[in-house]
Structure 1
Amino acid sequence: MSRFADVQTAPPIEVFALTRGFNADQHPKKVNLGVGAYRSEEGKPWVLPVVRKLEVMLAADETLNHEYLPVLGLDALSKAAVHLLLGTDCPAVIENRAIGVQALSGTGALYIGALFLRKILGYDTYYYSQPTWGNHKLIFDTAGFKQGRAYRYWDPKTKNIDFDGMCEDLRQAPENSVVILHACAHNPTGCDPTDEQWKQLCEIIREKKLFPFFDSAYQGFASGDPDKDAKAVRHFAKEGLELFCSQSFSKNFGLYNERVGNLTVVMSDPELAAAVQTQLTLVVRATYSNPPAHGARVVAATLTNKDLFAEWQDCIKVMSARIIQMREALRDRLVKLGTPGTWDHITRQIGMFSFTGLTPQQCEYLISEHHIYMLRSGRANMAGLSSANLDHVAAAIHDAVTKFPA
């Protein structure tokens, strides 16, 4: 008998299974609202012009080679990423209390951060929003955390944040619990706390001696303004809290397959940085040894050059503005059709995803009858909408909601 005879088949990862179904579908009006990637008005992947320009420049630079990067990555990237996240006027930056470690996109930053917290600091409990990005639990469980607990976040009745429930759950969390917080454009709901609510959360986390671990996957991509999208993290840092923040440059640079990320570490004492870096070096060495260079060079060059940075800002404004436009257009069409329910939450939410409020049955009907692919949770990628498919999508949602009332 084979040693592998008792291996059980793992459940499929929904978003990738959804994409396979979409790719196999031959219907001319099929729409993919599942994949977590930006799409142009033509429904195509978009390579940012500033990225194209830099790739040509890098290809022509004969001083570059394919030698290994240091274990902690390209220093220019990490420094630029920390400054982008925290701002150059942040006390932690000025006082050298903030360091960065290049990682394999946001997922890799979350994982090496989780491994450090579990193995070096001995933390064993983490909290995640209900709902949250589907990979958070898998990452922290795989890193060895013993307990994962949900804090209330989405209220299906108001289609907004259950802030009182969130605060109550965090007040009950044991000391040294790691709290995963979405820095902006919460995935999957698109609902973020207000500035005042972030301040309250900061005080609860300080009072209860919890450890904040921000996940920043959409800085600049959410609103078009990198400073605005970093306000929550910056507030915590300026208030003196120690924290981790995973940064992804997949969405805001369109570098999905280059796996460019950074783990920002904010400490209370700059003298601790060297020891923390040595331990993170061992964590990285044991997982992927060192990170890839190409995408890191693209991001580092963009963030450290005034003219290229301005071009990048124009690009993220284009992407964020198109998504906002699609939100408004979908809401308007649903209202015009008289679709049962209220739909203003679509435009209140921010970022790539909308938590539509559609039920699993309605979502399955959209796939089977209308060839519109979205997660069973009702999460829809607003970048998958275009002027060519908006009427089809709105009519299909109207049909699903009418046939199968929630």
Structure 2
Amino acid sequence: MSKIDTRLNVSPVPPDEIFALNGAYAVDPHPQKVSLGVGVYRTDDGKPWPLPVVQKAEKELVVDDDLFRHEYTAIEGDVPFLGIARDLMFGFEGKQGEEEAKARIGSVQTVAGTGANHLGALFLAHHMKPPTVWLSNPSWANHQTIWELAGVPRKTYPYYHAATRSFDFEGMMSSLESEAQEGDVVLLHACAHNPTGLDPNKEQWVAIADLCERKKLFPFFDSAYQGFASGSVEEDAWAVRYFFNNKPDMEMCVAQSFSKNFGLYGQRVGAFHYCTNRASTTLRDVVVNNLCHLIRGEFSMGPRVGCSIVKKVLTSEELTADWHQDLQVMSSRIKTMRKALYNELVRLQTPGTWEHIIQQNGMFSYTGLSPKQVYALKDKYHIYLLKSGRASISGLSQKNVAYVAQAIDDVIRNEN
């Protein structure tokens, strides 16, 4: 074989675990296979669920027949959409001081939540040059990749207490208190922490905000599940709104995704919001200008169709009410399946404790299963979840939950 002549210096990188797992599931012919890997909502029949309100909006958009629907938008994105996304995130509803508060927020449209995280990391790397970004241990695997590519050194703060399968608040606070330095970025999951499903309570969020303010850290919120986690957009945005409203002298930012709460996984709808402190509102337009510079050099502007759907829904009182109902349907089914899995494991008297499954929140459960047990579930029972033990609860159904629980029980007992 002749030698390859190339100037490239490349070596293989590990495949993305989630997409590789989903690919393996897709080609598995086993009739009882179960996908608990990829984070997408599924009905009790295991099928995708285009939100009814999204289908209504799509029909209305067809009737509207907007001649400009395929035209370019502005570099910052669809401007009316940006105002709607901002108000949904920060909760502006004609409150006193609203205009002054809005003047602190610079918003741009992104390629979903991943793009918002990436753009924010790139912007901060260029213009703030943080010494370190602190990620929770564990966190969404893509956070590591995004900040690595942005060239920012990464450290982790404790988040998950394996022995109790609970949120390690004390470990998190102690680590940031003793090691984080002024100017460091702290990445926080606004709700439904991925992968653990464990969130700080409101008292703990207040303490985290106080620590960030006192140590002059920069909070970077990733909000991927607003309304999807609890069924309430207000409840799921509580932490973001608390930081913004109660710490007005602290800068922060938010990466906002509409993939989960509108079921628009393939439409890539997102926004990035940079919040100046109240003394620096004149910087907002300069921030947006620099964000646009990065956007122009990378993807020119955000996708139009998906944001048009969101805009259509959230500018109609009737459709907004329908959307809130759809959120309740999704969040309620997730909670029901958590309870069903817990009940089955208790009924089987499966070794271990399983209360954490119903105490966790949102799409994912950190089950506590070991990599060896996860591999056994896949190889013997054709049940697919991440090697960390993270399971996407939406993959459970009334038809398969008993099978999954029995399989978990079997692999644990056989191992013991």
The TM-score with structure 1 as length reference comes to 0.97
> What is residue 113 of structure 1 aligned with on the other side?
120
Instruction: Report the CA distance between 1:220 and its aligned residue.
Output: 0.1
> What is residue 368 of structure 2 aligned with on the other side?
357
Q: Residue 346 of structure 1: which of 353, 357, 370 is its match?
A: 357
> What is residue 153 of structure 1 aligned with on the other side?
159
Q: Residue 308 of structure 1: which of 319, 334, 343 is its match?
A: 319
Where in structure 2 are the equivalents of 1:365-384 lying within 5 Å?
A: 365-384=376-395
Any idea what SS the aligned residue of 2:260 has?
A: helix
- Residue type at the aligned position of 1:212: P
Evaluate the alpha carbon distance shift between residue 92 and residue 26 of structure 1 in structure 2; reply closer, same or farther with a 3 A threshold: farther
- Please say if 1:28 is aligned against 2:31: yes
> What is residue 73 of structure 1 aligned with on the other side?
77
Any idea what SS the aligned residue of 2:343 has?
A: helix
- Please say if 1:229 is aligned against 2:232: no
Instruction: Report the CA distance between 1:4 and its aligned residue.
Output: 6.3
> What is residue 170 of structure 2 aligned with on the other side?
164
- Paired-residue identity, %: 46
> What is residue 407 of structure 2 aligned with on the other side?
396
Q: Is the 8 A contact 1:82 1:99 kept in 2?
A: no
> What is residue 132 of structure 1 aligned with on the other side?
139
> What is residue 104 of structure 1 aligned with on the other side?
111
Q: May I ask how many residue pairs the two structures share in their alignment?
A: 404
- Residue type at the aligned position of 1:44: K
> What is residue 39 of structure 1 aligned with on the other side?
42
Give the Cα–Cα distance (whole angstroms) in 1 for the partners of residues 369 and 97 of structure 2.
Answer: 43
Deviation sequence 1:64-110 (CA, Å, 0-9, x none) = 33111111101111111111111115778531212321100001011
Where in structure 2 are the equivalents of 1:203-352 lying within 5 Å?
A: 203-239=210-246, 240=248, 241-268=250-277, 269-352=280-363
The TM-score with structure 2 as length reference comes to 0.95
Any idea what SS the aligned residue of 1:263 has?
A: strand
Evaluate the alpha carbon distance shift between residue 226 and residue 386 of structure 1 in structure 2; reply closer, same or farther with a 3 A threshold: same
Q: Residue 11 of structure 1: which of 5, 8, 14 is its match?
A: 14
Instruction: Report the CA distance between 1:53 and its aligned residue.
Output: 1.0
> What is residue 196 of structure 2 aligned with on the other side?
189
Instruction: Report the CA distance between 1:6 and its aligned residue.
Output: 5.4
Instruction: Report the CA distance between 1:270 and its aligned residue.
Output: 2.2
Deviation sequence 1:230-268 (CA, Å, 0-9, x none) = 000000001213210001000000000100001112112
Give the Cα–Cα distance (whole angstroms) in 1 for the partners of residues 67 and 11 of structure 2.
Answer: 46
Deviation sequence 1:144-172 (CA, Å, 0-9, x none) = 21x10000000001101111110011112
Give the Cα–Cα distance (whole angstroms) in 2 for the partners of residues 215 and 377 of structure 1.
Answer: 21
Deviation sequence 1:328-359 (CA, Å, 0-9, x none) = 00000000000000100000000000000000
Q: Structure 1 residues 333-342 or 279-288, which shifts more?
A: 279-288
Give the Cα–Cα distance (whole angstroms) in 1 for the partners of residues 63 and 74 of structure 2.
Answer: 23
Any idea what SS the aligned residue of 1:246 has?
A: strand
> What is residue 88 of structure 1 aligned with on the other side?
92
Q: Is the 8 A contact 1:167 1:201 kept in 2?
A: yes
- Please say if 1:386 is aligned against 2:400: no
Give the Cα–Cα distance (whole angstroms) in 2 for the partners of residues 404 and 293 of structure 1.
Answer: 51
Give the Cα–Cα distance (whole angstroms) in 2 for the partners of residues 84 and 99 of structure 1.
Answer: 14
- Residue type at the aligned position of 1:141: E
Give the Cα–Cα distance (whole angstroms) in 2 for the partners of residues 340 and 250 of structure 1.
Answer: 36
Query: What RMSD over aligned residues (CA atoms) do the two structures have, in Å?
Result: 1.3
Give the Cα–Cα distance (whole angstroms) in 1 for the partners of residues 17 and 7 of structure 2.
Answer: 25
Q: Is the 8 A contact 2:107 2:288 kept in 1?
A: no
Evaluate the alpha carbon distance shift between residue 3 and residue 215 of structure 1 in structure 2; reply closer, same or farther with a 3 A threshold: same
Structure 2 gaps, min length 5: none
Any idea what SS the aligned residue of 2:273 has?
A: strand
- Residue type at the aligned position of 1:40: T
Q: Is the 8 A contact 2:338 2:393 kept in 1?
A: yes
Give the Cα–Cα distance (whole angstroms) in 2 for the partners of residues 312 and 259 of structure 1.
Answer: 18
Q: Is the 8 A contact 1:175 1:210 kept in 2?
A: yes
